[in-house]
Amino acid sequence: MAIFKRKAKVETAAGEKQGQMQVLKDAFRLTRKHKPIAFLWMALGFVVVLCGGIILGTKVNHPVYFTIISLPLAVLVSFFLFTRLANTAAFLSIQDQLGAGASVLMAIRKGFTTTPAVNVSRNQDMVHRSVGRPGIVLVGEGTQAVRSLLQDERRKMERFVPGVPLSEVVIGDASGQVSLRKLQKHLKKLPKKLSKDQVREVRNRLKAVGGLSMPIPKGPMPMNRNAKIPKR
């Protein structure tokens, strides 16, 4: 039994490693397509940090020591630049796609549970619902007509889960709207008004009434399934 358990652990670790490598490959491919200059910035950051370490080491008469220290630091800076630019490339790849807001919301790893497209118009304006410590957050994306969908969904929430804090967010770059890139950060910065037990109760209540989802118009789901938002 111990042998089988050990073998299962090894296979699980190997599967996780392959999954991480695939994510990294996808990130490189996406960055090369939407941010081809990213790799130039990575190389520049690596060279600047490494040369800075060598110069500093030369001044204090320890060039070898500072080179050894600056080498992993240069790799770290280069990888940090890559993650930032890959994140930007991921948002660029989906920003013009319908349902992009749902992809970004559902990529939040913890703290929020998102139900996409709870209200959809014929023009494919849509409202997504996220539940977390700030309460219920209704996120609209589409044309200006999405505000009427938000009001309809707000009235529905006030009827079925009265007393729960409600927030509204409209995705866009205009005044009073939140850009797609800042959507996750905006939700995480909302004031926490519910305890974890209250959040669980709200989720169960919404699940009990069937999620209150509107039927999605016929045809393909208006979301870019190939786009991947980085988890980190």
Residue 7 burial by CB count (10 A; 0-12/13-18/19+): exposed, middle or buried?
A: exposed
- The tokens describing 1, both together, are 């039994």
**Spans of all domains in the chain:** 2-94, 100-212
Q: Which residues, 6+ apart, have CB-to-CB distance to 78 below 8 Å? A: 42, 43, 45, 46, 49
What are 109-154's pLDDT values in tens digits?
A: 888 999 999 999 888 899 999 999 999 999 999 888 899 999 999 9
Work out the percent of the chain whose per-residue pLDDT is above 90: 40
Summarize pLDDT for 26-74 with one digit per residue, the tens. 777 777 777 778 888 889 999 999 999 999 989 888 888 888 999 999 9
Chain centroid offset of residue 224 CA: 14
Provide the pairing of β-strand 126-132 with 135-141.
antiparallel
pLDDT at 88: 74
pLDDT above 90: residue 82: no
CA–CA dist 230, 232 (Å, integer): 5
Q: Whole-prediction pTM value?
A: 0.65
Percent of the chain exceeding pLDDT 70 equals 80
Over 50: is that where the pLDDT of 216 sits? no
Q: What is the rounded radius of gyration, in angstroms, for the C-alpha atoms of the chain?
A: 23
DSSP-assigned letters across all residues of 145-190: THHHHHHHHHHHHHHHSTT--EEEEEBSSSTT-B-GGGHHHHHHHS
Asked if 101 and 171 touch (Cβ cutoff 8 Å), the reply is yes
